[in-house]
Structure 1
Amino acid sequence: MPAPTTNKDTLQRNRLLTRSGFFLLFLLAPVLNIFRYDLTETHFILFGFPLSFNLDLDWVSHSAPAEVAGQILVWFVLPITVLVPLVLWVAWKWGRIYCGWLCPHFSVVETINHLMTRITGRPTLWEALKKGRRGKFIHWTGLTLVCGLIGFSWALALLSYLLPPIPLYTDLITGNLAFYPSVFLAVASTVFTLDFLFARHLFCKYGCAFGVVQSIAWMTNGRGRLVTFDTARAAACRDCTRACDEACPMRLPTRSHKRAKFTCTQCLQCVSACREVQKDNPEGSLLHWEPGQPNRQTVLIPVHQLDTAPRKGRT
């Protein structure tokens, strides 16, 4: 029997801390020269130091092939052979945990989902239109402005990874931004704004190559961590209005089998929602984040099938 959960669920608070910290890192990394690529100098900058793999053209032209190959091996091949397996191993064990706990784009997805729910009662535009909930014009105007502001900040942040940030911000404030950076900001801001308004979680599902790679690695591990459903206590779902499914930012059937949750980001909002619904239940939540069992699949049980007691005939 799982331990009862307390009324104060700290799971999402911990996620908020990790997501906020990584979002700030995403915005400030170029400014602080933690990591960026300088197009003007044509090399990476890592922790304030130029990262050119020690392959100066003059040095290459006067060096033996073995020396050049050694530099490429040490500064390029070896880091990749360490980093790529590490990322795949993390995804193999925990799935898209980067997406759910760190990814700046997914943080925006959750934020706008929350705002959309307040406007229409549904987290996505398509669900709202299907339910006939259009919201008020003034609210949509505000949401569009928010998406536009976030889209512009994203475009500016990405541009600061390619151009020296301080001169970029100075030129932007003084109105002296060059033509090509201006075009980049305009196009990227428009694309991001449209994405955040209409297709944010769809991009996470189908457009993010890094997310798909994580999902594939996770699916190959039958013991990888996932959200499981306690089918033995499925009757406890009878009085719930699918709070777990409604809480999922990716709009997945949270009580279903692993294949149906291929794009799960391990944000565990479904678990938190179930904990809240079952907070007065001494047996606790029906959803748990735990290692999978290769020979066991959790199966979605429709609520209308839970009541197996015979119905009394009308008198």
Structure 2
Amino acid sequence: MSKALLQRQRVWAQIGFFALFTLTPIFDLFRYDLVANHAWFLTRPWHLGIDGLLAGTGSATEAAINILLFMFVPILGLLGLIILVAWKWGRLYCGWLCPHFSVVETINRLMLFATGKHSVWDKKQTPPWEPDGSPAPRDKRYWFAVVPAALAFAFVWAVVGLTYLMPPMQVYSGLLTGSLLRGEIIFLLAATTVLTLEFLFARHLFCRYACAIGLFQSFAWIANKKAMVVGFERERLTDCADCLNGNGSACDAVCPMRLKPRNVKRWMFACTQCAQCVSACATVNRDNPQGQLLRWVSNDEAKRNEARFSALSQTDEDAGARR
């Protein structure tokens, strides 16, 4: 599979999951209805089984068992599935499906055009070249796209979030007719404001340190030495230090999480397995007889790669200390 095709497939997966994220409450596939005071799952009401206890006709033991079966078992089962996938393949959910990460990448791209940096917190600009050697746009007028995009995504997220709690048709009808309830207006204003600030200033920090789903995946991935990881031929380091027309490395320039893809695994804790670094490396080295230096590896190859990488890194550190 070509690297361009891989990235196109990832983009379509993100678009599809964003659509699912938006449509799920509309079709009652999953949401909690504050008006009806119960959840919906696959178009059917989903109760915790404590109605009898609340009505005074059921026992506490029966209610506890129902809560365990209808709430904790499904939640733990879903979390277990996510962790199992992450154990073997890393944060695939983040890089390929997560609707927040697709926003991160979109705003990254626009901010890169406006400032030469993926984030306002980056200390240095990225090289003004795409991995294929073409010039990368740099124009401050793109700020007129960055801020509206962050605001628009924040509003969409706020509206969709509200439909997970209130009847979706009531929310969308209220938006169209200007008849939203006072509580709904307050929710939308507060959520849109917070999310706009997060998308503009803290989207990477949220993914790294605040997203529980992301952290659980990272811990599972780090614990498995044979998990899929971006492997690097460190012996060819001199071939890639300045692969972007002598202006730095393509893999560093494209990473949406602002990581150093050629680093040891423990420093790639927040890697989302988006493979942008792998695709960029393949593009830069498309005419290199030895091929690309970065590629996905797994199982014993991943374990050997990490051991070799760690040993070479330690050698470099020792040499630096002696100097």
Query: The TM-score by the shorter chain falls in which range?
Result: 0.7 to 0.9
Distance 1:109 1:297, change over 3 A: farther
Q: Cα 1:31–1:119, aligned 2, differ >3 Å: closer, same or farther?
A: same
The alignment status of 1:195 with 2:206, answered yes or no, reads no
Residue 283 (structure 1) shift? 2.6
SS at match of 2:121: helix
- Residues 152-203 of structure 1 show CA distances to partners (whole Å, capped at 9, x for unaligned) of 1111110111000111111122111111111111111011111111121121
Secondary structure of 1:288 counterpart: strand
CA positional deviation for 1:79: 2.7
Whichever residue aligns with residue 243 of structure 1, its letter is: A
Which residue of 246, 262, 267 maps to 1:260? 267
Residue 292 of structure 2: aligned partner: 285
How many pairs does the alignment contain? Answer: 296
Letter of the aligned partner of 2:13 in structure 1? Answer: T
1:78 counterpart letter in structure 2: V
Alignment of 1:105 with 2:91, yes or no, is no
CA distance in 2: counterparts of 1:38 and 1:218, whole angstroms: 35
> Residue by residue, what CA displacement relative to the aligned partner does 1:49-106 show, whole Å, maximum 9, x if unpaired?
1100343236873345554455344333433443332222112112211111110010
Q: Where in structure 2 are the equivalents of 1:1-315 lying within 5 Å?
A: 9-57=4-52, 61-63=56-58, 67-127=62-122, 138-240=141-243, 241-291=248-298, 292-293=302-303, 296-298=307-309
- Mapped partners of 2:275, 2:256: distance in 1: 10
CA distance in 2, matches of 1:285, 1:236: 10
Structure 1 residue 130: deviation in Å?
7.2
Q: CA deviation at 1:140?
A: 1.7
Gaps (5+ residues) in structure 1? 306-315
The whole-number CA distance in structure 2 between the counterparts of 1:62 and 1:176 is 40
Q: Which runs of 5+ in 2 are unaligned?
A: 129-137, 317-323
Flag the structure with more relative contact order, 1 or 2, with Cα contacts below 8 A and sequence separation at least 6.
1
Shift, 1:242, TM fit: 0.6
Q: Does structure 2 conserve the Cα–Cα contact (< 8 Å) formed by 1:226 and 1:290?
A: yes
Aligned to 1:188, the other structure's residue is in SS state helix
The CA RMSD measured in Å over matched residues stands at: 2.6
CA distance in 1 between partners of 2:59 and 2:148 (Å)? 58
- Report if aligned partners of 2:88, 2:228 keep a CA contact under 8 Å in 1: yes
Name the aligned partner's letter for residue 307 of structure 2. R
Distance 1:167 1:127 in 2: 42
For residues 52 and 270 of structure 1, what CA distance do their matches in structure 2 show?
45
What letter is aligned with 1:168?
V
Distance 1:159 1:249 in 2: 28
